[in-house]
Amino acid sequence: MSANDRTEAEGVSFVMPVLNERDYLEHAVRSVLAQDIDGPTELVLALGPSTDGTTELAQQLAAGDERLRLVDNPAAHIPVGLNAAIRASRYPTIIRVDAHSELSPGYASLALATLNRTGAANVGGVMRAEGRTPFQRAVARLYNSPIGLGGGAYHGSDREGAAESAYLGVMRRDVLDEVGLFDETIRRGEDWELNLRIRQAGHLVWFDPQLSVTYWPRESWWRLARQFRATGAWRGELVRRFGRSNGLRFFAPPALVIVTALAAVVGLLQLTGVLSGIARVVASLVYLPLLAYAILIVAVGVSGGKGMRERLWTMAALPTMHISWGMGFLAGVMRGAGDTIDASRLGDRNTPLP
């Protein structure tokens, strides 16, 4: 093997789907290009049809660094963009990155060491959410808490080991080629589904808590609700396709939605006098889980934060995340996700995707 061939074999390709991320893209790109790796690197951006100047910014950044390459993703969907970037990349290790995230210093070199040490096919670490505004900080607190997103390892576990999935992911290209890249029919949860196929093929998915990625949540209540509804719908679709391969924690938000709907029906029947006597008392038990949930919301809200606005936003964001996700999940289970998209990624709430 020549020196050039050996260098190619040690190279790393970062891949990043991008759509309407002008406020975050440059920081994300800089965090990738600053990674210190013993071998060549490249960052392939899959550019969706942005409306906020993201494409122009990406072109400016690419003109200033030969490691940055651009491919088109006219469909705008994340798995389509990821596959386009992977196919356009050159090196045997693929590191997925996100325009709404920033890699910590040393992330790539540590991930490569873990990949070699464990023999895993995919390695991921911790998503550490942070915020710039009271609302975003409130959502970040919930992302970093098992109460907010259900306790997945990458939301704060400190125990290294085999995992169900991996946040973003540092992947062996030969394994990706073996299992068939990302499923382009899945718009959200595509990483979970890919890791399911990796594990079913007999390969190891590994979680290393020493790996850390900063994630910036959505900036407004409206975008947060739309994001979680779409994510819930696609989890419902994954339940339709893969059944109990999905963990039990995914069923908590839809259970909350069902209990809330039952409580509303019971309340109406009580107000109209349809339920009375012992039936009225027994039916009132449906309120107990909601009372406990309300207490939980208040407790989480007042337990931290840097001011009253952040605490109030925490109490508003927590049920928004759970109920939006749960409603999306139920719709996804009953009807399938269809062409549901994460509309929170649009530059304008009225701008449709192609």
- Quick: pLDDT tens for 18-43: 999 999 899 999 999 999 988 999 99
- Quick: pLDDT tens for 334-353: 999 988 887 776 654 333 33
Find residue 207's DSSP bridge partners: 124, 161
Residues 166 and 312 in one domain: no
Is residue 222 situated within a structural domain? no
Structure tokens at 273: 């006098």
Is residue 302 situated within a structural domain? yes
State the CATH number of the domain containing residue 37.
3.90.550.10
Residues 89 and 205 in one domain: yes
Structure tokens at 77: 């969907």
Distance CA 85, CA 94 (A): 10
Q: What is the pTM of this model?
A: 0.86
Residues 210 and 334 in one domain: no
pLDDT number for residue 249? 84
Q: Are 218 and 344 in contact (CB under 8 A)?
A: yes
**Is 140 in a helix, a strand, or coil?**
helix
Is residue 228 situated within a structural domain? no
Distance CA 205, CA 199 (A): 7
Residues 68 and 152 in one domain: yes
- Quick: pLDDT tens for 276-322: 889 889 999 999 999 999 999 999 998 877 789 999 999 999 999 99
Q: For a pLDDT cut of 90, what percent of the chain falls above it? A: 73
Is residue 223 situated within a structural domain? no
Residues 106 and 190 in one domain: yes
- Quick: pLDDT tens for 79-130: 999 999 999 999 999 999 999 899 999 999 999 999 999 999 999 999 999 9
Residues 140 and 276 in one domain: no
> In sequence order, what are the residues at sequence separation of 6 or more whose Cβ sits closer than 8 angstroms to the Cβ of residue 316?
138, 221
Of 217, 233, 258, which marks where a domain is finished?
Answer: 217
Residues 186 and 103 in one domain: yes
155 pLDDT higher than 90: no
Distance CA 346, CA 325 (A): 19
Is residue 255 situated within a structural domain? yes
Is residue 224 situated within a structural domain? no
Residues 77 and 15 in one domain: yes
How confident is residue 247, by pLDDT bands cut at 50, 70 and 90? confident
> In sequence order, what are the residues at sequence separation of 6 or more whose Cβ sits closer than 8 angstroms to the Cβ of residue 108?
12, 14, 35, 36, 37, 41, 95, 170
Distance CA 346, CA 354 (A): 11
- Quick: pLDDT tens for 216-238: 899 899 999 999 999 999 999 99
Instruction: Give the domain extent around 313.
Output: 241-345
Using alpha carbons only, what angle is made at residue 234 by residues 340 and 343, rounded to the nearest 5 degrees?
40
Q: Are 26 and 109 in contact (CB under 8 A)?
A: no
Of 184, 217, 250, which marks where a domain is finished?
Answer: 217
Number of domain units in the chain: 2
Position 115: which residue type?
L
Residues 186 and 112 in one domain: yes
Distance CA 322, CA 129 (A): 17
Is residue 225 situated within a structural domain? no
Q: Are 207 and 181 in contact (CB under 8 A)?
A: no
Residues 197 and 290 in one domain: no
325 pLDDT higher than 60: yes
Is residue 352 situated within a structural domain? no
Residues 136 and 24 in one domain: yes
Question: Phi and psi for 312 in degrees, rounded to 5?
Answer: -65, -40
Residues 152 and 22 in one domain: yes
Q: Are 204 and 120 in contact (CB under 8 A)?
A: yes
